[in-house]
Amino acid sequence: MRTDQCLALAKERHLAGDLASARTLYETVLADDPANADVMFRLGVLGLQCAAYGDALAWLDRAIALAPRESRYQFARGQVLSAAGRFDDAIDTYRALLAFDATSSDLWFALASALQSSGDARGAVAAYESAAALDPAQVDALNNLGNCHRQLGAPEQAQDAYRRALAVQPNHASALTNLGTLLQESGQIDAAIELLIEALRSAPDSPTCLLNLGVARYARRQFDDAAVLLTRTLELDPHFPEAAYNLGNALHALGRRRDAQAQYRNAVALDPLHADAHNNLGNVSKELGEYKAASQAFDAAIRARPGFVAAYNNAGNLMRTLRRTADAEALFEAALAVDPDHSASHNNLGNVLKDCGALDEGIVHYRRAIKSDPDNVVAHSNLAYALTFQAEHGEAVLEECRRWSAQHETPLRAARQPHTNDRSQHRRLRIGYVAADFRDHCQSLFTVPFFSHHDHEQFEIFCYASVERPDDLTRRVAGYADVWRDVRELDDERLAQQIRADGIDILVDLAMHMADGRPLLFARKPAPVQVAWLAYPGTTGIEAIDYRLTDPNLDPLDPVDVKGQRNAPGGRELITSDSHYTERSVRLPDSFWCYDPLTAEPAVNVLPALTAETLTFGCLNNPCKLTNRTLAVWSAVLHKVPHARLLLMAPAGNAHQNLARRIERQGIDMQRVDFVPFQPRADYLRTYHQIDLGLDTFPYNGHTTSLDSLWMGVPVVTRVGATAVGRGGLSQLVNLRLDELAAYSDEEFVRIAVELATDRTRLANLRQGLRSRMEQSPLMDGARFARNVEAAYRKMWREWCA
């Protein structure tokens, strides 16, 4: 074969992509024509195509030595240098060529690309502009120009460059995608989706276009569409970690936790350093109750990205769930070491400190969380709730709740819509209950006896449940509802729309400002009448909540003095309790609570003091209720009953040690104090077998805990305060006709506790009769309680109709 024929065939094979054959033919030509610079150039290009950059440079250097003025050889050498990551050398090469010919759009584009790859976005901008000026149809230069402006934090200039590119080529998939994602970042999600749909039309099998549209659909909360798009992305490119990660996010949002977990694991298998995938794998594993796997995932996220604040927080929240408070505290402090103003970290640290009884320190962190981010509604709710444990009077809580409303509720008022519910006064009403704790949770001790006695002929019951892990009690409560909706995956706006679509007449909040509450849902006013009940008998501060349920002992109609006594004599400061609430108070005839322990076990035992050497006082309330005021009063009791012991509940570690120091500062000998940890309910109830007499907390009384104590035969001496939460003990004791155990001063509390502690016979008799007394009282009369609440609902409805 002649040399010219061999060269023609080599070029043909090269163009056809048969690189091995082309190389052999080029080398054959060179054997006959060793000084053929063009063939050396072509072997250099072939080396570039095969990523054999050393060979490519060697051939190009030989070609340039033979033809030093051939600019295309130099240009190809720059391309090889760029591909090899030798950007500085490539830049020098392109600049040298531009010194001889500054009119080449391709040269300016190549220089810009090398500058962009080297991190010199500002230099790249000028070069891309030069390329586009020389060739206005250079659409890739305009698209990359937009990317550089974006990298420099200039979104308006980036948008302009993308639109210039699209003016040249309207179906340019990359420019459409880039402009779409840019608009998405600025919150223009609908406009972004339109562009990303156009990009996908231009490149229907592009994994990148599918991924970006899927991510945008997810951001628009169109989770089903997002999952379809991201599944297709993975079908086209099974080794795309970002596609697996984002598909995991979409599946997680759809509540398909197992499938989400599988995709997060797929993402980290494809990219072991994908910190976000590790982090979200930890979140979904925690939700599935797989705590060891969750912990390992959070650790992997932090290793992959040291200083990953979100992963520190998620790991800390897991430790809090596991009652490992010292570990939780350390993780939140690690997050704050990275970002001292991180609002969520301050909030979470506040939660742990509050759990451990360090209430004042917890409140400091809640305030810092709000200062760092005034829109942190969770931290603000936590602050409002925490203040109820600290405040002896209602004003401080009311003021904070009003600040909460001004910050978080006011922006939502303009979007409220009028309600078109049928105003017939006597028709069957639709009642909606909103909660995350329709499960094995203390809330069920009150919802079960109430819901099981609802009059379904007069009231249609809807439950809006955000339960993370449903259980047998979830299914039991669901059985009492006419309509059960799992709304965990709905945000507040979509849930408000659902409630409106359901035509709910009266919507009842069971959480208020407590964990997993949805105050922003109620702030949207999705129902014409809204009511607060159960979580705690205080105020929400939310103007959109019309009523709060209470009782005559929590909120007496008569004035109460600041020490908690009724009918105060002249000269004392008087308060009217209703002034502490933004809601209208509706007093149920008997009790705010209706209680069912949901078990007969364990049975009440014989008074321990009859067989033990000492009497045991006890309080199994959360440590956040053990204020210095409470400990000081208990100290006075223990000094008057010198051989008695005190049994408390506190988590192990720092919480135990800090509480012990506070107890000692109040003059209580720690040799007389024992602790039990947080326990499963059956074990917790059995702990009352060790307690002879309960001592209540102040200014926030025991509520559920006191009812548990009374059910187990352990009477509770309470200190009556001026707030509803400080009168819970009184309300319960009045309903048991045991209000002689309610003290209106610290001195009276000490006297009652000491007298009862030294009267073993009376204590033993009380113990044996308390359970039956409970069962026969309004506190456990579910039918009576339901009729009372339903009468209140009907009265509220009549008022709205009028």
Contact 162, 182 (CB under 8 A): yes
Alpha-carbon 95 to chain mean position: 53
Token duo for residue 529 = 């009448």
Phi/psi region, residue 691 (left: phi>0; alpha: psi -120 to 50; beta: rest), is beta
**What is the C-alpha to C-alpha distance for residues 781 and 775, in angstroms, rounded to an integer?**
7
Which amino acid appears at position 265 of this protein? R
CB 743 within 8 A of CB 752: yes
From residue 718, give the alpha-carbon distance in Å to each of 236, 493, 565, 746: 68, 42, 14, 10
Which of 41, 6, 36, 38 shows the shortest CA–CA distance to 21?
6
Strands 574-575 and 560-561: antiparallel
Angle between helices 207-219 and 241-253 (to 10 degrees): 30
Check the CA dihedral 253-257-260-264 and report its sign: positive
Instruction: List the one residue out of 550, 719, 563, 729 whose CA is nearest residue 632.
Output: 719
Is 423 within 8 Å of 755 (Cβ atoms)?
A: no
Q: Are 172 and 201 in contact (CB under 8 A)?
A: no
**Dist CA 190 CA 181 (whole Å):** 11
What is the bridge-based pairing of β-strands 645-649 and 673-676? Answer: parallel
Burial category of 726 from C-beta neighbours within 10 Å (exposed 0-12, middle 13-18, buried 19 and up): buried
Q: Which residues of 787-799 are buried (b: 16+ CB within 10 A; e: fewer)?
A: ebbbebbbebbee
d(CA 372, CA 336): 12
pLDDT at 256: 94
Specify the residue for token string 């009468």.
791
Six-digit token string for 563: 């020490």
| Residue 36 token pair | 């053929």
Residue-by-residue DSSP string for 491-546: -HHHHHHHHHHHT-SEEEES-TTSTT--HHHHHT--SSEEEE-SS-SS----TT--
Give SS3 for 376.
coil
- Which two three-digit tokens encode residue 81? 């240098």
Which residues fall within 8 angstroms of residue 379, CB to CB, at 6 or more apart?
343, 344, 346, 347, 350, 366, 369, 370, 373
- Enumerate the domain spans of the chain: 3-248, 307-412, 430-587, 608-780
Helices marked H in 67-154: 71-83, 87-100, 105-118, 121-134, 139-151
Average pLDDT per block of 10 residues along the chain, 802 residues long = 86 92 90 91 92 92 90 91 93 91 92 94 94 93 95 95 95 95 94 96 95 96 96 97 98 95 98 98 97 98 97 97 93 98 98 93 98 98 96 94 97 95 97 96 96 98 94 96 95 96 98 93 98 93 97 83 45 52 96 96 96 94 95 98 95 82 95 93 97 98 98 98 96 98 98 97 97 98 98 97 93
CA pair distance 562, 658, nearest whole angstrom:
31
CATH number of this structure's domain 307-412, picked from the four choices 2.30.40.10, 1.10.760.10, 1.10.1760.20, 1.25.40.10: 1.25.40.10
Same fold, 307-412 and 608-780: no
Note whether 743 and 720 are within 8 A (CB): yes
Question: CB neighbours (10 Å) of residue 229?
Answer: 26
* Topology given in CATH for the domain delimited by 3-248: 1.25.40
pLDDT score recorded for residue 567: 46
**Structure-token match 């307690």, residue found:** 691
Burial of 296 (0-12, 13-18, 19+ CB in 10 A): middle
Q: Which H/E stretch holds residue 431?
A: strand 429-435
Considering the domain 608-780 in this protein, what is its CATH number? Answer: 3.40.50.2000
CA 400, chain centre distance (Å): 22
Cα 704 versus chain centre, distance: 26
Assigned token pair, 185: 């970042």
Compute the CA torsion angle 43, 45, 48, 50 (nearest 10 deg). Answer: -60
Cα angle: 157, vertex 160, 161; to 5 degrees: 90
Cβ count near 441 (within 10 Å): 16
End-to-end CA distance of the chain: 105
Task: Name the nearest CA neighbour of 725 among 571, 488, 601, 548.
Answer: 548
- 3-class SS of residue 717: strand
Question: Strand order of the sheet with strand 584-587?
Answer: 483-486, 459-465, 429-435, 506-509, 529-532, 547-550, 584-587
Question: What distance in Å separates the CA atoms of residue 659 and residue 669, rounded to the nearest whole number?
Answer: 13
Phi, psi of 545 (to 5 degrees): -90, 120
Residues 6+ apart with CB under 8 A from 347: 365, 366, 369, 376, 378, 379, 382
Select from 3.40.630.30, 1.10.3720.10, 3.40.1790.10, 3.40.50.11380 the CATH code of 430-587.
3.40.50.11380
Q: What is the pTM of this model?
A: 0.87
pLDDT at position 577:
53
Contact 205, 236 (CB under 8 A): yes
Burial (CB count <10 Å: 0-12, 13-18, 19+), residue 533 = buried
CA distance 43 to 50: 10
> In angstroms, rounded to a whole number, what is the distance separating the alpha carbons of residues 40 and 67?
11
Give the chain's length. Answer: 802
Using CA atoms, how far apart are residues 714 and 145, in angstroms rounded to an integer?
Answer: 76
Q: 736 near 779, Cβ under 8 Å?
A: yes
3-state secondary structure of 22: helix
Distance CA 42, CA 108 (A): 23
Residue 790's Cα: distance from chain center in Å? 34
